[in-house]
Each structure stands twice: as structure tokens, then as C-alpha cells.
Amino acid sequence: MHGPLRLSLFPALKFRRYLLLFPLALWSLRLSAQTIQDCDGAVPVCSLNYFQNVLTPGYGAVQELLTPLIASNNTCLAAGEQNSTWYRLNVTAGGDLQFSISPNTLTDDYDWAVYDITNTGCAGVQNGTAPQLVCNYSVFPGNTGLSPLGTGNSAAPLDPNFCLPLTVQTNGVYALVVNNSSLSPDGYAINFSGTANLLDNNIPLPVSIAHQPCDQVDTLVLSLSDYVDCSTVAPDGSDFTFTGGGYYGFVLGAVPVNCSASGFTNSVKVVLSQTIQNNGAYVLSVNNGTDGNTMLDLCGNATPVGSTVNFIVTNVPEVELGPDTSICDGEVLTLDAGNPGLHHSWSDGSTGQTHDVRSVPATAYVMVDRDGCYARDSVHVGSACSVFVPNAFSPNGDGLNDVFWFISSHVKDAAVSVYNRWGSRVFYSETEKQPWDGTDGWDLRYPTGLYVYLIRGTYRSGKTFEQTGTVLLIR
């Protein structure tokens, strides 16, 4: 008589869970984008024995077994995720999979399901494309799982607790969800067995760096092929080296992204000491950090030292105004920032590709914008209306310093007069084609001595000038 009463009692409890526990799932706040209550944050199976001694109420960021578009995801867990925990099994050698879930309190009821996510990833659980291979929704408390003594591959509320072993394939990836149907705080243990090798031996490798509309950034978001322990990412960034493309900075720090409740992530922000300024190919390399290791997954697999990911920047405009220079007062220097068709911003507010410098000294500055990617350059323009006049010459016919004349690239025209010490003019010319050779232009050779010159002229800008000084004639 007690048997029938027991059988009628547990189905009632199973169905009452719809009313008692589903509101708890709605109440549970989603504090992390990825937790052990999400397939994407599933606990990787690194050991044959696991102990879950903490109650995980509700579900993770998403109720993955019940969605508006797919009423039940073809699962026997009709109430969806209830106080769930996910496990990820990476099969390195195929065979049969067995496991036993043993509640710490034998009157507790646990349900579970196994999905093949080899080809679909965790998204397939939500959209219904990941096959559910086996599912157990038995109302009976106590041990449950996969066993040769089990029955079938799906258990309804009144079916036995154990299903038959599951055949899994080499390199297959499977997700196991365990529901704590009793809302028990006492937890459970899982023991995996069978002929399949399902320990997680995947090595976490750098896969890619997320590109932004403009790669002129100082933080790189690195994606990894596997989840790593957040505590193994060195905060000082010493796990990484960033080189290439004319980058002269260094890695300043590293921050794991959205570390789940179980403490792992597959994305890391690598913080650079300065923004990327140049187009080119860059390389992010993995090193042993100051913590003595590279990044480790929860199974202890290490990202290999020297593993790299390439990063190409092509969208940054390039600007070169040239070296600092000088012009004469009144002259105009035209600077060209190149990059036709892009937006230019000069220091005087003008927006054209070219810019005229008309007064000196001045520093001209330009910023060129290509869809939010900026390039900058500046040039200092000094005043240089110089006229060089030698202080001596020796008209001895040796081809060196035989004549007297000034040198300047800024003078348009000029007249040169030379006087002896008594004030008499001994030379006059308006062209460099007729410099002073130390004579009167005929047979008279002036003696060694100090002479006074006077230069009156006009710069190319139109401005006039006058310059005087002395020159030594050497015989």
C-alpha cells in the first residue's frame, strides 16, 4: 500500500515545481553574461569526479531550454532550466559515456540532459539545432545518470532514474545540464566513467583581435579558443608583447572580460601604453607573465609561450608635412597634407587639403579624419631672410675664394658697393655675374686690406633690405 502512495506523491511534487520553482527562476538576477548556469560558461570536465556543493538558483543569463520561438527545445525537461549547472565534455577518444549523479541528501531529486554541440556550439541548445541525445526527468529522488542497468535514452517523470550509456564520438563536444529540482542546498557529486576519454585537453590559443571601425585604439580585445582561469591573466599585462607597424609603446595591463561566476573567460582586454597611430601589420605574442605562467584553462592547459595573433591596421590616414623649415618675411609657404577627399582641420581653422603660411615664426598643425581615424602632424616655420657675406677673399687665381659676392636664396635683386678705408668707392655691381675680383676692373689691383661693403636689395617677397660690413682682401 505504501508503494502506490509513494508513486502518486512524487508526480505531484514534480508538477508542482512548475508553480513553486519557475518564479524563482524569474526572480534570480543575471549578474554575469557567462556563468556555470550558461552553456557558454559550462564547467569543463577536467576530472572524473566533480562536487557541486553550492546552490545555483534559477538559471544563467538566458533560459536556454525554453525560448519564445522554440517552446521546449525538444527536451524532456518540460520546466526548462531549474537551478541549473552546465558541464562541457570534450571527447578525445570515442566510446560509451557513463556517469552517476549522487545527491548529498538522498531524498533530493536531480534531472539532467545531454546535448551534442559539436557542430552548433551552445547556440544550438537555444535554437533547437543541437541534438538532445539523452534526457532524464524522473521524479524519483536519489542517484541518477547513465548506466548499463538503465533504460532507454529518455525518462519521463515516472520512468527510472538511470538511462542507458551514451555513445560519444572522438573530437565530439557535448553539454550536460543538471537541474536541482529540489532546490536543495546540499549539493551533489558527479562521477564520470565508461570507455570514452572525455577529459578537457584543449589548449587555449589566441584566435583573433576584435576590429573596431577605427583601429586607432589603446585597448585590444583578444579572443581565445578556450576559456581560461581569470586569475592566471597577469594584471600588469606581462603575458603579452605587442609589436609591429611602427608601434613604440608597450603593454600596460590586461583585464579578463566578463569573468563568470566560476572564474573563467575566453576574452581578454590587452591595454597598450599608447594608441596605434600607423597602418601596418602588428603581432600580439604570448609570454610567461610575472606570475610565472601564461594563461591557463581550468584543466591546467597553458597557452604556449610564443603563440601569436596577427592584427592589421589599414584605415589610419598618413600625413607628412615635412621637416621644420624657414621662410623669409613676406614669403608664402604652401603645406600639403595629402589625403584628398578626407576632412582636414588646420590650426587656423581652415579645412582644405593645403594651407598657406604667410607670417613667421609659426607652427602649423593639421588633423586628418577618415571615418573617425585620425592622423596628425605639425611643422614649425621660422624666419630666415638671411644674406651670407664672406669676411675675406684671396684673388690669386687658385680657383678658391677668388671673388667677393654675397650668397642668399631669398634675394631677388641687389646692388653691391665696396669702399676703401678713405671712403672712396672701389667697386659697384648689380649682378652676381660681375663679382669683385679685387681690381678696379682694369689693370689696378687693390692692395691687401680691410674694405667696407654695402648691399642694397629686394627680397623675393618684395621687401627691401640694406646690409653693411667689412671684408678682408688678401694678396
Taking only the tens place, the pLDDT of each residue in 7-35 is 223 333 343 333 333 332 222 223 333 47
CATH number for the domain spanning 190: value is 2.60.120.380
pTM of the model: 0.50
Q: 68-82, 220-234, 264-278, 304-318: which range is least confident on average? A: 68-82
Render pLDDT for 247-263 as a digit per residue (tens, 0 to 9). 888 999 999 998 755 57
Residue 63, pLDDT above cutoff 80: yes
Asked if residue 309 lies in contact with residue 207, where contact means CB atoms within 8 angstroms, the answer is yes
pLDDT of amino acid 264:
76
What is the C-alpha to C-alpha distance for residues 267 and 257, in angstroms, rounded to an integer? 5
Q: What is the DSSP letter of 210?
A: P
Residues 376 and 444 in one domain: no
- Please give the pLDDT value at position 121: 87
Instruction: Flag the least confident range among 212-221, 294-303, 336-345.
Output: 212-221
Assess if residue 200 is contained within a domain: no
Same domain, yes or no: 70 and 219 = no
Angle at 223 between CA 217 and CA 227, to 5 degrees: 140
Domain boundary among 383, 405, 421: 383
Q: Does one domain contain both 186 and 291?
A: no
Do residues 92 and 198 touch, judged by C-beta distance below 8 A? yes
User: For the ranges 9-23, 261-275, 300-314, 387-401, which has the lowest average pLDDT?
Assistant: 9-23
Joined together, the cell numbers standing for residue 414 give 641687389
| 292 and 401 part of one domain | no
Apex 470 CA angle, 466 and 473, nearest 5: 135
Question: The domain containing residue 369 runs over which residues?
Answer: 325-383
Both 26 and 51 in one domain: the answer is yes
Residue with cell 546535448: 115
Instruction: Among 166, 194, 222, identify where a domain stops.
Output: 194
Q: CA-CA distance, 475 to 465, in Å (whole number)? A: 31
The predicted structure's pLDDT at residue 21: 32
Same domain, 230 and 276: yes
Mean pLDDT, residues 262-288? 88
> Can you read off the three cell numbers belonging to residue 430?
648689380
Closest residue by Cα to residue 400 from 298, 457, 474, 466? 474
176/287 same-domain check: no
Q: Same domain, yes or no, for 149 and 210?
A: no
Does 384 score more than 80 pLDDT? no
Instruction: Indicate if 67 and 85 belong to the same structural domain.
Output: yes
CATH number at residue 344: 2.60.40
Predicted local confidence at residue 455, as pLDDT: 96
| Best CA proximity match to 90, nearest among 206, 13, 201 | 201
pLDDT at 329 > cutoff 80: no
- CA dist 259 and 32 (Å) reads 8
Lowest mean pLDDT among 57-66, 323-332, 452-461: 323-332
Residue 324, Cβ neighbours under 10 Å: how many? 11
Task: Determine how many CB atoms are found less than 10 A away from the CB of residue 162.
Answer: 22
**What is the pLDDT at residue 67?**
61
Pairing of strands 144-146, 162-163: parallel
CATH of the domain at 298: 2.60.40.1220
**Is residue 157 included in any domain, yes or no?**
yes
pLDDT attached to residue 27: 26
- Cβ-based neighbours of 83, under 8 Å, separated by 6 or more: 21, 24, 25, 55, 56, 57, 58, 59, 179, 180, 181, 183
Say which residue, 211 or 159, is predicted with more confidence: 159
What is the per-residue pLDDT for 101? Answer: 97
Least confident stretch, 89-103, 212-226, 239-253, 345-359: 212-226
